[in-house]
Each structure stands twice: as structure tokens, then as C-alpha cells.
């Protein structure tokens, strides 16, 4: 099973030592290395402009240097806040983050930015959003609340369905990404599916490699319907769900798996957890971060902790739809890390600032302050990186990590972590993605050299957004401002409530299916946690814990000690004397996550045989330095890659492989991902796979003999591929030295067949005549697939983009040739061109 990369150093730079030296401080509190100050001193004073705007001067370029950046101020470091320096090299990598970086290479030549009364944070990570639905603005408030997501999706159980398919609006996704950037977000899990996000702007870390903006990660996988229940199936037992629902083996090779589970408050929502947390369908794994996780019990949450899973919390969307949200106190006290996600514009927050405000308000007013300020900040930084499988690359200010960095105004009452939690878009001083400017204060951007970024006034503060610059002129700020005027605003000020913003105040009327479920309308004198249970009768009078339809008519108290689960220090042990596990020490070895060289594997001795920052117990090659996200390198045969039982089979997701003497059998230069098929000419099984070049069209030709070096993965846990391969053409032949393997549909179509698995990735042939028996295999949706023969083997257009499912039923082919494949729970064949589908005579 693949681990998230959890290491002390980053993946794209050698480790740099932190150097502690004496500090030199000027009267305004800014540490200034010796040398001439060219650009003036930062100040908390604003300049009032004639047009009614104001210009901030909290950060100033003190010395113009090369492309490197040295930023001084309060750093939110993994161990805690500290005055210090952040050095970013010319490749956009953090070279040093420490009290003093004077000994780091490049220090004296860097452009120095001095700041006062600010905090410098890792770029925020939105762990969950359905950004492709950004054309659906929030609707006017409704009093209706739901019990399960299929109630509002499909209008189940007499509920009113919520419209979610508004007409397409040009640049809606790009505008959504700018909203996030303005609130300090640099990466988002955008809901999965190639192309969910926009090119440039945010890093879309679960969409496609191109949209990660060159981030060296394995894409996370978002999964809205792991139960296969997109049609709206409701069941209290596992028998009511699809037999083809996700299995543990399907996700074993993933680094970040983000499934929607337990979204709702009734028994059917709870069944989503019970049916996906046991046996072959156990999806609660160390690479899993559950989205929503509302309908859970203490026993369920303990499983998260035991299996090192994470919660992705979307409080505004949960509260606005269900009048309830995940039991945050339960998760926190059982040591489960919590990440934050906006969910989507329709029922969630327009940016991360509003989602943080919702989380903070609920924490203070409804959850008795169970989360510390540090934990709230971690929910959008380090914990969000753990959740998405990107830790060790982004999410912390640490040498070797990618320089996704945000500077926030801390000149008001909010300091340190509170400066991030309480920030509005007007408080975002500078946003850097890999050291490259995206947004910030106008004067600072001009001093840095980004005065060609477009100017805009944000809550009276002069700002610049680098829209045209980042997209090479393909989009402009004016394009996105049009979306703001005609669809939904690009921003609101922090003292304003966005138009039709979904509520973050838990309210719920009577539940038709359960008369015992709580009814509540906010905090009152006799119900200080606002959960509908009078304080005198409430087993958690200070913590919101209403009776849910899944609770059997009473507030939860799993250990029967009279203290409710939501506020119980020890929810699974009678009494309060236990020592709760710590989310900041996921493996429980006494070493905090930020300092642990194996965050998910206990190793109190921190042994590291090859000195690469990965502990021996979690390093697949402890005799071969592979810092950060770098994979171990293995020279292997195709059979060793494809056959999981073969001696020397490299672990998927953690291996860089070298494979020689392969023949190109197909080339894909359209669609996503691009790439090519290769096959070992010397074997008849376990012999082929896809080499994914993603957004770069491959230059190889069918018949070429190649050597490959690349990252071995199992795409969505089912399809072997080598990603971003280095290709060496050893023979430029353009004809195949072998023919396709003749395959009987009766052998290949049966999903459980070992023989079928052996053929995946190889050039196959189905002899005919064979007829079209299903014209559209995915009706009523249409993915250009059709079925042939009695077993309805799917013919897919993956390699041949022009292929369409317009053949009439009964149309016969003399043979069907293509690559044997498996995707989305179906055996398929991928023709390469019209020559692979000759008509029967």
C-alpha cells in the first residue's frame, strides 16, 4: 500500500542546513542583514490616494537583487511562529526557512523583501472543491434541510431537489480560481476528472498533471461516488449498494484518495461508512482522506485514527444542507487530523477566507473551542497536504519544499495563526506559487518587478492580480471581472456577507422520517450550544450534539458514562482519565509530525540509513538516497512491473523504473492524458502498459524500440502505467515485429479472470465476424463506447479520438484489433485507427 511522502526534506532540492546566527533588528522590528537599504522601510501606515483607495506598505523591497527572494517577517514554521527569514531560490524552491539564512547559497544576491506586522505562511490548500460547478452560484436561502445527499441531488423522500446544472458560463472556473488565490490558496483538489480546473492560476492537484503547474506529485484521486450510487441509491445495508463499488485493492497504489463518505445524518448516510470500512471494500486507509464524514460514531472515528485516515471538513456546505456537520470534537479528541475544503460555490464558501470564518465561528460558538488556532491553520496547510498526498512537497515552510507562500497582514489585533484565520482578501499581501507572483499589494508587486500585473481595488486597498501574465495573455482580469459582475462576485470584504451565502448557523426543523430527531434554531439562554436539547437534559451542554435520525432517539454516549460522545475526552472508555491520541503525532511514536521522518510508521529512534530524510521503516530503499517525493529506482523487466506476484515487482507509486527493449504499439496525441503504449516483444502475457506523457504529445512512432525511465503507478489502482517517461529510441523501426494476440471474449470479458489481467496493455485481436450488441454502453450518458458480441465487450475511443459509437446494432466487423485494457470496472479494447475495425465482408 502506498504511503504519503512524509519526510523532513523536500522533493526537488537537496537538503539545506538551517543556520542560526545573531539577528540585527531595526527600530520597527524588521530584521535587516548588513548592507545598503535601497527601497525604504516597511510601515503599518497607509497612504490615502486621491481616488479613495489606500496603499499598504507592510512589505517593501529593501534591496533589488536577482530572481531569488529573501523575505523577512514572522514565519509560521512547522514547529511554531518565529521571527526569521525565508529564502526562495530562482527555481521556486525554499532554500531556507529559519531565524537566519545568511549562510545559505544565494543569500547575498537575492532580492530582499522586508516586512513588518505580517505573517508568512505556506500557501493554503483547499482539500476539496467541485470547481467545475462554479457556474452554479448559491441560491436564495431556504429553510429546508436534508438527511442525505441524494435527498437534494435527486429529490428523494419528497425533498426539493437543488438545481446544480446552470448554463455554462465562460471563465467561471478561472474566476473561481482567482477567488481562491485572493484568499491565499495556491492549490486545490478540484473534484477530480481531467480538466476540472483551469490551466495556470491554482494548482489543481487531482485533475491532470498539466494543471498541477509542474508540481512534482502523484495526482490525488477525488471520488464522489465510491459506492457507485450516482443514481441515488439509498440503503441501510450493504446489500443495497452496487457489487462493483470501490475495493481496497482499487486504491492501494494511490497517494491521496478523497472519497465522499457518510454525507448526511441518517442511517443511510451512516451505511456509507459501514459499507466502505470493512473487508474487501475497506476504503479507510492511510492514503484516504474522507470528504464530509458527518454520519459517524466514536467507533467509526477510531477506525480513522487506527488506519491513519484524515477528515476533510466542509462545514458551511454541511450546515446549509443538513443543519449539522462532522462531529469535530470527536475527531479531534480521537487524534484524527482535520483538513478543510470549501465543497463548492452552490452550498459552500466562495473562498477559503469564508470557509475559515465558518469553521472558526462553529468552533468557538458550537464546539466549545475544541480546535486550537494552530489546528485551524493546519487544516489549510500541513493537514491538507497530508490529506491530498502532497506533504513533503507543499504545505510547510521547510527547506527543499516548493515555495508556495502567502503573506498576510497582521497589523490588526489578529496575530500569528489568527492573522490567517481572520484574514480577508484585503489582508492578502502577497501570493507566490513556486516563487512566482499571482496576487498581492500593488506597490509591493511593482517593486518586485510585477508591475505588469493588472491593477484592481480590493476593499479600498490597491492590489494587482497577475491574470494575463500567468496565462500568457489568454485570459485577462477584465474577463474574470465580467464573471464577477454577471455571475457571482470575485470577492467581498471581510466585514461583508457574500450575496446569498449559504448559512453557517446550524438550524433544523422537524424531520419527517424521524420525529425524535432534534429541532433547533440557534443558541438560546436555555440551550447554549444550540442543538435543540435543553442544557439541563444535554449530555454535552457546551458542545453541539443534536439527536440525529441515525442516533436512535437519543444523544450519543458510546461508553455509557453520561458524558456525550461529542464532548467526551475518552468517548470509548468510561471516565475521563485516558490519554487521547494526538493528531500532531499520527503514528504515536512521540515524535511530532513536522519533525518525524516517518509520520505514519512508528520509529522513535528516527533511524535513516541513507541520510535522505526518510526513516528506514518507511523508505522502500534505505540504501539509496531518495529525498522527499523522489521514488526508488529499479531496473526491471516488463513482467516484473505488470505481474504483482513476480519476484522483484516494484512498489507502485514509490518506484522509478528503467525498462529496456520495449516496442511502441500505439501513440495517443489527442485528449488527456497523451502518451503511448509499449509492449515487451518477448512475452505473451504480463507484457504491456501505457506510458503517460500527459500534456506533452509523444514523438515516438509505432514500431520504435525504446528504453524507458519513469515513475511506475497503478492509475486509479487498476491500470499499470509509467508516468512522464524519459525515452531513448534504440531502434527507429516503424513496423511491428509481432502481431496481435488472439483473444477469446469469453476469457477476456470476465473481470475476475487472471488470464484477462495478464493481457492488459497488450495488442489484442478479437476474431469475427462479431456484431455490435450495445450501441451506447453508458446510456443515458455517452462516452463514445459500444459493446460487441454476446458478452458485450466494450470498444473504447481512448487511443482513437475520432471513434464514435454510431455503428447500428448488428453491424459486423471481420475482426476487432486494439489494446486490451481495464478501466472504470470494465474490460475494454482500444482500437488505434479505422484499420483496427474492418467491416465484415
**Do the Cβ atoms of 586 and 311 come closer than 8 Å?**
no
**Minimum mean pLDDT range among 191-200, 321-330, 718-727:** 191-200
DSSP 822: E
691 and 752 share a domain?
Answer: no
The answer, yes or no, to whether residue 12 has pLDDT greater than 60, is no
Average pLDDT over residues 362-370: 98
699 and 759 share a domain?
Answer: no
Confidence of residue 3 (pLDDT cuts 50, 70, 90): very low
Cell 478479437 identifies what position?
766
Average pLDDT over residues 695-704: 95
pLDDT digits (tens, 9 = 90+) for 377-401: 999 999 999 999 999 999 999 999 9
Average pLDDT over residues 263-275: 97
The mean predicted confidence, pLDDT, of the chain is 92
The answer, yes or no, to whether residue 672 has pLDDT greater than 60, is yes
Name the residue among 740, 674, 755 with its Cα closest to residue 210: 674
Give the ranges where 193-327 is alpha helix by DSSP (H): 248-251, 267-274, 298-306, 315-322
702 and 643 share a domain?
Answer: yes
- Helix (H) or strand (E) holding 662, with range, is strand 655-668
pLDDT digits (tens, 9 = 90+) for 142-189: 999 999 999 999 999 999 999 998 999 999 999 999 999 999 999 999
**Minimum mean pLDDT range among 122-126, 266-270, 643-647:** 643-647
The answer, yes or no, to whether residue 751 has pLDDT greater than 70, is no
**Do the Cβ atoms of 806 and 784 come closer than 8 Å?**
no
The answer, yes or no, to whether residue 782 has pLDDT greater than 80, is yes
Q: Which of 550, 574, 598 is the last residue of a domain?
A: 574
Q: Which of 439, 456, 486 is the last residue of a domain?
A: 486
188 and 268 share a domain?
Answer: yes
**103 assigned to some structural domain:** no
544 and 434 share a domain?
Answer: no
Helix or strand or coil: residue 331?
helix
pLDDT of the residue at 671: 86
Residue 560, number of CB atoms within 10 A of its CB: 7
pLDDT digits (tens, 9 = 90+) for 324-349: 999 999 999 999 999 999 999 999 99
What is the domain extent for residue 720? 632-731
The answer, yes or no, to whether residue 752 has pLDDT greater than 80, is no
How far apart, in whole angstroms, are the C-alpha atoms of residue 309 and residue 284?
6
**52 assigned to some structural domain:** no
- Helix (H) or strand (E) holding 485, with range, is helix 477-486
**Minimum mean pLDDT range among 191-195, 553-557, 645-649:** 191-195
pLDDT of the residue at 745: 85
139 and 274 share a domain?
Answer: yes
Cell 457507485 identifies what position?
228
823 and 781 share a domain?
Answer: yes
Average pLDDT over residues 603-617: 95
**589 assigned to some structural domain:** no
pLDDT of the residue at 750: 66
Share of the chain above pLDDT 90, in %: 84
Confidence of residue 825 (pLDDT cuts 50, 70, 90): confident
**478 assigned to some structural domain:** yes
The answer, yes or no, to whether residue 26 has pLDDT greater than 50, is no
Q: Which of 677, 708, 731 is the last residue of a domain?
A: 731
pLDDT of the residue at 598: 95
More confident residue, 685 or 214: 685
Cell numbers at 500, concatenated: 446569498
Confidence of residue 1 (pLDDT cuts 50, 70, 90): very low
pLDDT of the residue at 755: 80
170 and 301 share a domain?
Answer: yes
193 and 303 share a domain?
Answer: yes
How far apart, in whole angstroms, are the C-alpha atoms of residue 608 and residue 586?
19
Residue 108 CB-density burial (10 A; 0-12 exposed, 13-18 middle, 19+ buried): middle
The answer, yes or no, to whether residue 649 has pLDDT greater than 50, is yes
Task: Kindly report the CATH number assigned to the domain that includes residue 698.
Answer: 2.40.50.140
134 and 280 share a domain?
Answer: yes
Strands 257-261 and 221-223: parallel
**185 assigned to some structural domain:** yes
Average pLDDT over residues 667-692: 95
**26 assigned to some structural domain:** no
Residue 224, number of CB atoms within 10 A of its CB: 16
770 and 810 share a domain?
Answer: yes
**7 assigned to some structural domain:** no
Confidence of residue 195 (pLDDT cuts 50, 70, 90): low
Confidence of residue 8 (pLDDT cuts 50, 70, 90): very low
438 and 550 share a domain?
Answer: no
Domain count of the chain? Answer: 4
Task: Kindly report the CATH number assigned to the domain that includes residue 297.
Answer: 3.20.20.140
The answer, yes or no, to whether residue 481 has pLDDT greater than 50, is yes
Name the residue among 283, 299, 285, 367 with its Cα closest to residue 332: 367
**599 assigned to some structural domain:** no
pLDDT of the residue at 780: 87
What are residue 822's DSSP bridge partners? Answer: 827
The answer, yes or no, to whether residue 654 has pLDDT greater than 80, is no
**Do the Cβ atoms of 441 and 59 come closer than 8 Å?**
yes
Amino acid at each position: 500500500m502506498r504511503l504519503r511522502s512524509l519526510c523532513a526534506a523536500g522533493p526537488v532540492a537537496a537538503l539545506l542546513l538551517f543556520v542560526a546566527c545573531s539577528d540585527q533588528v531595526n527600530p520597527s522590528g524588521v530584521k535587516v542583514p548588513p548592507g545598503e537599504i535601497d527601497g525604504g522601510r516597511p510601515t503599518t501606515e497607509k497612504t490615502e490616494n486621491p481616488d479613495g483607495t489606500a496603499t499598504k506598505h507592510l512589505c517593501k523591497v529593501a534591496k533589488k537583487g536577482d530572481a531569488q527572494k529573501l523575505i523577512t517577517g514572522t514565519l509560521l514554521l512547522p514547529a511554531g511562529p518565529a521571527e526569521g527569514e525565508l529564502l526562495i531560490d530562482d527555481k521556486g524552491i525554499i532554500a531556507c526557512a529559519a531565524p537566519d539564512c545568511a549562510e545559505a547559497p544565494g543569500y547575498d544576491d537575492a532580492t530582499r523583501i522586508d516586512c513588518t506586522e505580517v505573517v508568512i505562511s505556506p500557501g493554503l490548500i483547499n482539500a476539496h472543491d467541485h470547481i467545475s460547478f462554479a457556474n452554479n452560484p448559491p441560491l436564495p436561502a431556504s429553510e429546508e434541510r436534508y438527511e442525505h445527499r441524494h435527498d437534494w441531488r435527486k429529490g428523494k423522500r419528497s425533498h426539493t431537489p437543488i438545481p446544480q446544472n446552470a448554463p455554462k458560463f465562460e471563465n467561471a472556473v478561472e474566476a473561481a480560481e482567482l477567488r481562491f488565490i485572493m484568499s491565499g490558496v495556491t492549490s486545490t483538489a478540484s473534484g477530480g476528472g481531467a480538466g476540472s480546473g483551469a490551466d495556470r492560476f491554482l494548482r489543481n492537484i487531482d485533475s491532470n498533471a498539466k494543471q498541477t503547474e509542474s508540481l512534482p506529485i502523484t495526482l490525488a484521486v477525488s471520488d464522489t461516488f465510491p459506492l457507485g450510487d450516482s443514481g441515488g441509491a439509498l440503503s441501510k445495508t450493504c446489500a443495497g449498494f452496487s457489487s462493483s463499488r470501490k475495493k481496497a485493492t482499487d486504491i492501494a497504489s494511490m497517494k491521496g484518495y478523497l472519497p465522499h463518505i457518510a454525507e448526511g445524518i441518517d442511517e443511510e448516510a451512516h451505511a456509507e461508512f459501514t459499507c466502505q470500512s470493512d473487508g474487501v471494500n475497506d476504503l479507510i486507509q492511510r492514503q484516504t482522506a474522507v470528504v464530509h464524514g458527518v454520519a459517524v460514531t466514536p467507533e467509526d472515528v477510531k477506525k480513522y485514527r487506527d488506519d491513519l485516515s484524515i477528515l476533510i471538513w466542509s462545514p458551511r456546505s454541511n450546515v446549509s444542507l443538513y443543519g449539522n456537520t462532522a462531529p469535530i470534537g470527536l475527531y479531534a479528541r480521537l487524534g484524527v487530523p482535520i483538513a478543510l475544503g470549501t465543497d463548492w460555490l452552490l452550498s459552500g464558501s466562495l473562498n477559503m477566507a469564508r470557509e475559515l470564518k465558518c469553521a472558526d465561528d462553529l468552533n468557538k460558538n458550537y464546539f466549545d473551542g475544541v480546535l486550537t488556532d494552530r489546528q485551524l491553520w493546519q487544516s489549510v496547510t500541513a493537514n491538507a497536504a497530508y490529506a491530498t498526498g502532497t506533504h513533503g512537497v507543499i504545505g510547510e515552510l521547510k527547506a527543499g519544499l516548493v515555495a508556495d507562500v502567502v503573506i498576510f497582514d497582521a497589523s490588526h489585533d489578529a496575530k500569528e495563526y489568527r492573522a490567517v484565520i481572520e484574514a480577508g482578501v484585503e489582508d492578502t499581501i502577497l501570493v507566490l506559487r513556486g516563487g512566482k507572483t499571482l496576487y498581492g499589494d500593488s506597490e509591493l508587486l511593482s517593486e518586485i518587478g510585477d508591475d505588469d500585473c493588472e491593477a484592481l481595488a480590493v476593499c479600498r486597498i490597491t492590489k494587482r492580480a497577475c491574470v494575463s501574465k500567468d496565462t500568457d495573455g489568454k485570459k485577462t482580469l477584465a474577463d474574470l471581472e465580467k464573471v464577477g459582475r454577471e455571475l457571482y462576485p470575485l470577492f467581498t470584504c471581510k466585514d461583508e456577507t457574500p450575496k446569498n451565502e449559504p448559512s453557517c448557523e446550524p438550524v433544523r426543523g422537524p424531520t419527517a422520517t424521524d420525529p425524535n430527531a432534534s429541532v433547533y434554531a440557534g443558541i438560546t439562554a436555555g440551550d447554549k450550544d444550540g442543538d435543540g436539547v435543553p442544557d439541563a437534559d444535554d449530555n454535552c451542554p457546551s458542545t453541539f450534539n443534536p439527536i440525529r435520525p441515525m442516533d436512535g432517539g437519543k444523544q450519543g454516549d458510546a461508553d455509557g458514562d453520561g458524558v456525550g460522545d461529542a464532548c467526551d475526552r475518552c468517548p470509548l472508555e468510561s471516565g475521563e482519565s485516558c490519554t487521547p491520541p494526538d493528531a500532531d503525532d499520527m503514528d504515536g511514536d512521540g515524535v511530532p509530525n513536522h519533525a518525524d521522518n516517518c509520520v505514519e510508521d512508528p520509529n522513535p529512534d528516527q533511524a535513516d540509513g541513507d541520510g535522505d530524510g526518510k526513516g528506514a521503516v518507511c523508505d522502500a530503499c534505505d540504501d539509496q538516497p531518495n529525498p522527499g517525493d523522489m521514488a526508488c529506482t529499479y531496473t526491471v523487466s516488463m513482467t516484473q512491473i505488470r505481474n504483482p506476484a513476480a519476484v522483484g515487482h516494484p512498489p507502485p507509486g514509490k518506484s522509478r523504473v528503467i525498462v529496456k527493449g520495449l516496442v511502441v504499439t500505439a501513440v495517443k496525441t489527442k485528449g488527456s492524458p497523451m502518451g503511448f503504449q509499449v509492449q515487451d516483444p518477448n512475452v505473451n502475457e504480463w507484457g504491456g502498459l501505457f506510458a503517460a506523457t500527459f500534456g506533452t504529445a509523444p514523438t515516438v512512432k509505432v514500431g520504435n524500440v525504446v528504453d524507458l525511465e519513469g515513475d511506475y503507478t497503478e492509475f486509479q489502482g487498476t491500470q499499470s502505467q509509467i508516468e512522464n517517461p524519459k525515452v531513448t529510441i534504440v531502434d527507429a523501426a516503424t513496423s511491428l515485429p509481432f502481431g496481435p494476440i488472439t483473444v477469446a471474449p469469453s476469457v477476456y470479458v470476465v473481470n475476475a479472470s487472471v488470464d484477462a489481467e495478464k493481457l492488459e496493455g497488450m495488442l489484442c485481436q478479437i476474431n469475427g465476424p462479431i456484431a455490435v450488441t450495445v450501441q451506447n454502453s453508458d446510456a443515458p450518458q455517452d462516452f463514445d463506447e459500444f459493446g460487441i458480441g454476446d458478452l458485450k465487450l466494450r470498444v473504447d475511443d481512448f487511443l482513437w479520438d475520432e471513434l464514435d459509437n454510431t455503428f447500428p446494432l448488428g453491424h459486423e466487423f471481420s475482426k476487432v484489433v486494439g489494446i486490451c485494457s481495464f478501466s472504470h470496472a470494465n474490460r475494454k479494447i482500444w482500437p488505434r485507427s479505422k484499420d483496427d475495425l474492418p467491416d465484415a465482408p
